[in-house]
């Protein structure tokens, strides 16, 4: 009896040991596996011929922190991606970055990496594709900051370069030529945050109408001319007063206002945020050109009498490089903070809300699904501008509000959202962008076709 009991105990110990040994061979039994990962590919030096090259880039000619003609392109390639001819093609989403130039220690701009690094876009894509919440797609981001002013506003300018064409024509052609994409506007989408959102909607309203089939916009300046309505436009006291405060200028001080050692953009310093924005828009929306410059003097203005005569005659004309190649630009405010209407009207030509007055441009939204979103505590006044644009859009399109904030437009898909933050963490201009990207991806996946469609 005692022998049987000993044998039973030994048998139990052996079984227990085998069970534990089996468990020890399992790899993280309680931890789920990671989703299949896509590839992040970077093209560090893509020459933007015909748009940012020497012949079309005044900033290179002027030597203003020289604006490179070669730019970095970063792409997310989904799991299963193969070269054209070796696997299925994928639809493409183009992400345009916000205003700002925050270089790393080597002097290279870090903003281009914002979506991928700061907001961890690749891991978001992997997770949503694996869960089936979005379809596999290629995502493209390009560095299109203006290296002197900090922002290009994705606009062609004789004072800077052809940033609009760089996206609308060159970038799309480049990606379609070298990557396994699905051709056709219904297989391409464009999105952006801040300045990038402005650029995204501008591409749809003013660009090639065969390029993008859906658009999303996060916290963008869409109605910047309506300070009388919202108090948040770019001619409002909030911005004009900031221009003087950030540069230590008293209104009425014409000497300090005209001094390029006092009033100047400094995209490396966030303490001049509104100054940087206003100067970047001046270079984008109200540039001069060599025809104007040469019509003022028999000799091109130089760092001497010719240049000084030009500056004296046009008190809101700025030219920073003292270069015969620098067309310069006109600022819409004088040293008293008074709006110069002739210049301001040139800015208004680039206002997205005003573009809706053109039936041909507004009509493009009939076939282009649109997503608008903005934080409730946006410190740059974008919420008020988005509300203005939203109301104008409803009036122009005659859209009616439906359930879940969807409005009858295009393919019956237009979404508008004002999102909030959390206690102690408000929804400012650059917070919760990763959360919004998830919504943007889910929005676009509904409309991106996987087969080539014109």
Task: Break the chain into its structural domains and give their ranges.
Answer: 39-223+352-445, 227-348
Summarize pLDDT for 413-442 with one digit per residue, the tens: 788 999 998 888 999 998 999 999 999 999
Predicted pLDDT at 265: 76
The pLDDT of 315-319, averaged and rounded, is 79
Predicted pLDDT at 443: 94
The pLDDT of 306-328, averaged and rounded, is 68
Predicted pLDDT at 104: 46
Predicted pLDDT at 224: 83
* Selection from 17-21, 123-127, 408-412 with the highest mean pLDDT: 123-127
Predicted pLDDT at 113: 66
Confidence category of residue 132, pLDDT binned at 50, 70, 90: very high
Residues 6+ apart with CB under 8 A from 28: none
Residue 366 has pLDDT above 90, yes or no: no
Summarize pLDDT for 150-168 with one digit per residue, the tens: 788 999 888 888 889 999 9
Residues 6+ apart with CB under 8 A from 252: 335, 336
Predicted pLDDT at 228: 47
**pTM: predicted TM-score of the whole model, two decimal places:** 0.84
**Tokens 């900051």 belong to residue:** 145
The pLDDT of 166-185, averaged and rounded, is 93
Summarize pLDDT for 45-70 with one digit per residue, the tens: 787 877 776 666 666 665 555 667 77
Predicted pLDDT at 159: 80
Distance of CA 227 to the CA centre of its chain: 23
Residue 409 has pLDDT above 60, yes or no: no
32 burial type by CB count under 10 A (0-12 exposed, 13-18 middle, 19+ buried) = exposed
Give which of 13, 25, 323, 333 is closest to 148, Cα–Cα: 323
Distance separating alpha carbons of residues 240 and 260, to the nearest angstrom = 18
In contact, 56 and 156? CB cutoff 8 Å: no
Summarize pLDDT for 15-49 with one digit per residue, the tens: 344 333 433 333 334 345 678 899 998 887 787 87
Summarize pLDDT for 270-285 with one digit per residue, the tens: 678 888 889 889 989 9
Q: Give the 3-state secondary structure of the chain.
A: CHHHHHHHHHHHHHHHHHHHHHHHCCCCCCCCCCCCCCEEEEEEEEECCCCCCHHHCHHHHHCCCCCCCEEEEEEEECCCCCCECCECCECEEEEECCCCCCECCCCCECHHHHHHHHCCHHHHHHHHHHCCCCCCCEEEEECCCCCCCCCCCCCECCCCCEHHHHHHHHHHHHHHHHCCECCCHHHEEEEEECHHHHHHHHHHHHCCCCCCCEEEEECCCCCCCCHHHHCCCCCCHHHHHHHHHHCCCCCCCHHHHHCCCCCCCCCCCHHHHHHHHHHHHHHHHCECCHHHHHHHCCCCCCCCHHHHHHHHHCCCEECCCCCCCCCCEECCECCCCCECHHHHHHHHCCCHHHHCCCHHHHHHHHHCCEEEEEECCCCCCHHHHHHHHHHHHHHHHCCCECHHHEECCCCCCEEEEEECCECCECCCCCCCHHHHHHHHHHHHHCCCCCCCCC
* Higher pLDDT among residues 54 and 243, named by residue: 243
Confidence category of residue 305, pLDDT binned at 50, 70, 90: very low
Predicted pLDDT at 18: 34
Q: Which CATH architecture has domain 39-223+352-445?
A: 3-Layer(aba) Sandwich (3.40)
Question: Which residues does residue 410 pair with via DSSP β-bridges, in sequence order?
Answer: none
Residue 74 has pLDDT above 50, yes or no: yes
Range of lowest pLDDT (12-21, 163-172, 187-196): 12-21
* Selection from 106-115, 257-266, 405-414 with the highest mean pLDDT: 257-266
* Higher pLDDT among residues 2 and 432, named by residue: 432
Range of lowest pLDDT (6-10, 85-89, 94-98): 6-10
Distance separating alpha carbons of residues 401 and 419, to the nearest angstrom = 18
Range of lowest pLDDT (106-115, 189-198, 445-454): 106-115
Q: What is the mean pLDDT of the chain?
A: 79
């Amino acid at each position: 009896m005692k022998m049987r009991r000993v044998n039973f105990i030994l048998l139990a110990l052996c079984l227990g040991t085998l069970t534990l040994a089996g468990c020890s061979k399992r790899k993280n039994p309680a931890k789920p596996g990671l989703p299949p990962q896509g590839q992040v590919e970077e093209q560090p030096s893509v020459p933007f011929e015909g748009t940012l090259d020497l012949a079309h880039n005044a900033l290179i000619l002027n030597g203003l922190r020289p604006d490179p003609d070669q730019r970095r392109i970063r792409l997310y390639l989904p799991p299963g991606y193969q070269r054209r001819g070796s696997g299925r093609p994928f639809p493409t989403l183009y992400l345009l970055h916000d205003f700002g130039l925050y270089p790393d220690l080597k002097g290279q701009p870090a903003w281009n990496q914002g979506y991928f690094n700061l907001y961890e876009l690749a891991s978001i894509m992997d997770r949503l594709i694996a869960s089936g919440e979005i379809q596999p797609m290629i995502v493209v981001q390009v560095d299109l900051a203006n290296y002197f002013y900090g922002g290009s506003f994705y606009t062609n300018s004789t004072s800077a370069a052809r940033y609009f064409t760089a996206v609308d024509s060159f970038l799309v052609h480049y990606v379609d030529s070298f990557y396994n994409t699905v051709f056709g506007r219904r297989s391409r989408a464009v999105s952006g945050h801040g300045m990038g959102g402005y650029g995204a909607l501008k591409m749809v309203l003013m660009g090639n109408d065969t390029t993008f089939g859906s658009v999303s916009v996060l916290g963008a300046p869409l109605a910047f001319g309506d300070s009388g309505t919202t108090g948040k436009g770019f001619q409002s006291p909030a911005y004009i007063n900031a221009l003087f405060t950030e540069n230590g200028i008293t209104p009425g001080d014409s000497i300090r206002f005209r001094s390029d050692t006092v009033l100047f953009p400094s995209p490396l310093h966030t303490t001049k945020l509104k100054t940087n924005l206003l100067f970047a828009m001046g270079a984008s929306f109200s540039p001069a050109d060599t025809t104007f410059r040469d019509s003022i003097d028999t000799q091109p203005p130089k760092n001497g009498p010719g240049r000084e005569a030009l500056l004296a005659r046009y008190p809101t004309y700025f030219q920073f490089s003292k270069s015969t190649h620098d067309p310069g630009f006109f600022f819409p405010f004088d040293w008293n903070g008074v709006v110069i209407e002739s210049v301001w009207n040139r800015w208004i030509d680039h206002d997205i809300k005003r573009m809706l007055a053109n039936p041909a441009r507004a009509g493009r939204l009939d076939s282009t699904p649109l997503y608008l979103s903005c934080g409730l505590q946006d410190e740059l006044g974008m919420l008020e501008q988005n509300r203005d644009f939203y109301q104008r859009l409803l009036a122009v399109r005659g859209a009616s509000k439906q359930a879940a904030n969807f409005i009858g437009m295009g393919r019956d898909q237009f979404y508008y959202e004002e999102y909030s933050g959390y206690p102690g963490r408000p929804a400012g201009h650059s917070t919760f962008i990763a959360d919004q990207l998830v919504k943007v991806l889910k929005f676009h996946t509904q409309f991106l076709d996987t087969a080539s469609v014109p």
